[in-house]
Chain A
Amino acid sequence: MTDKVIETRKLVAGYGKMVILHGIDFYVLRNEIVTVVGPNGSGKSTLLKAILGIAKVISGNVIYEGRDITNERLDRISRMGVGYVPQTDNVFPNLTVRENLEMGAYTIKDRNEVRKRIEEIFEIFPDLRAREKQMAGNLSGGERQMLAMARALMAKPKVMLLDEPTAALSPKYVDLVLNKIKEIRDSGVTIVLVEQNAKKGLEIADRGYVLVTGRVAYTGPAKEILEHPEIGKLYLGLKK
């Protein structure tokens, strides 16, 4: 039996009166990296937001570990073990790096446990240790992205939803971030990755979804999408 961590069934969602997703069937298996790619405005970010209850689900269901979490409150979903790294505004700028991490571990009651977690995180992201006392708003773009992922990891999530973590990063950081994502997966976290950079995003993924105007245009193993003769050219700007 396959173990679906997150599943959406015929998901229709949007903001206010605007409908952006028109019936998405989507799932992630345990401990895989699934990358969602597609052109601008195809509803990639909205898919994540609909899963998390930020965008409004009009019909259809979101299932997390067998429980229906459609339109559930974000803080409750997060307490169930779903980590989220938004594309922009993904750190608290007026909190120090350490405080940002503490906020990530908000659901952990034990203070010693939190301290231990922060040490572990500093092992994974050594750059952050030097900036511990700095305001997160003063970090560079790459450091911010690291902090955002580190913050999401603090709560030991079972799944992490990452919204374009490589957007607006220098090439050096793009590879670094994607490597970290692979490391995080190897530590046992399931990953849903929304990527503008289709090639890089799919390279580290197990499976992929191609979203076009709010519908799933193609789905399959990541390699298959990368090597597909038309999908890449039509939607993703990949060159042969």
Chain B
Amino acid sequence: MTSQRTLIAALLIVLALVAPLVAYPVFLMTALCFALFACAFNLLLGYAGLMSFGHAMFFGMGGYFFGYVVKTMGLAPEIGLLAGVGGAALLGLVTGALAIRRQGIYFAMITLAFAQMVYFICVQAPFTGGEDGLQGIPRRALLGGLLPIDSDRTLYYVVLVLFLFGFGLIYRVIHSPFGQVLKAIRDNEQRAVSLGYEADRYKLLAFVLSASLAGLAGSMKALVLQFATLTDVSAGVSGEVVLMALVGGLGTIFGPVIGAFIIVAMQNYLAFTGEFVLVIQGAIFVVIVMAFRKGLLGEFSDWWKRRRAG
């Protein structure tokens, strides 16, 4: 089993390395940004049992912080990424501390409401550029000028490294003692509390962690596409990330990545249908909730297990 896993991981990495030779790099980079975003979301829902319906606020604000630091303040992209992560973490700390005061479905509604508040603030605040957003964020060279990223192909590898860093971090967190406690809280909060774990602290830390990684994903997207807009802080994107995690499989480590690639590809290829993309997304939600609640990866691994057993 372990050797099989290593093999799959090695195959995937080779695939990721050669991908820009066959596929359009900007598409791959966008998909990777959303994949990290979906993994960050899944860390919260799949492993801590916290359903945030406002994750776009961290993703979108990450992009704005990056854009502001790099374009308006004229600093290096690395500082922009740090600002995106730090800003999203801070926002996560404030909203998370309030949201974890309620449980279950209320938690989802509260995060949704806060995200809407952030959206309204972004519409009006001077530093976001309002309806226009921040456009033409320069792609300055990385590592103090040593690594120019004007070429999409070079940038792809930078984005891949950042993604792998975030993904690896999530993997480590899930398999750490901290991750085990999170799962315990998800499965039976009262029991975990009775065993002496301060559930709220764990939840808040998981929330901040997830928010920071969503912020990183948002900053990466701004780095790639060179703009930050209101769309990325809107409720629509909060819904999209839920859909990505759901399509791939909640609580599976790799599922959200698959989900993100599918949804981003779908949006690219169906963009010509206009509003109809929303209809299709909604229909996928309905079908998954009604029939495939485990998502692609979850259903597949079930089928695989059945096949091996039978």
| A and B interact physically | no
| Residues of chain A having any CB pair with chain B under 8 Å | none
